[in-house]
Amino acid sequence: MSERRLREIEAQIERIKAELVKLPPVLRPGSLTRQYANPPEKKGAYWQVSYTRKMKSKTEYVKPECVSSVRKQIAAYKKLKKLSDKWVELGLEASRLSMKSNDE
């Protein structure tokens, strides 16, 4: 059973690698939000992206013409994180199975 599962895990990891290669070259973490200079009247709208990197929070303004591009970059980053988390989960499971089979 564990040999079969190890092969399944390896196949899943190969699929993850194939997905990672498809990601665009520009990724960015964060949340894109629309803000207002005068919130009660919803006037003076502008966009900003906020993120934390190396334990430092950052907020950057985003030009309206760049909003679509930044959204795609954020989505790509989220996909990277999801795929890498899945790869780590599979790796941990494979490691446990390998160690268990060595004990038997």
Q: In the chain, pLDDT over 70 holds for what percent of residues?
A: 96
Tens digits of residue pLDDT in 31-67: 999 999 999 999 999 999 999 999 999 999 999 999 9
For the record, the structure tokens of 31 come out as 């949340």
Which range marks the domain in which residue 8 is found?
Answer: 2-103
- The encoded tokens of residue 82 equal 């999801």
The per-residue pLDDT for 1 is 59
State how beta strands 56-62 and 43-53 pair.
antiparallel
Please state the domain count of the chain: 1
Among 60, 72, 68, residue whose Cα is nearest residue 27: 72
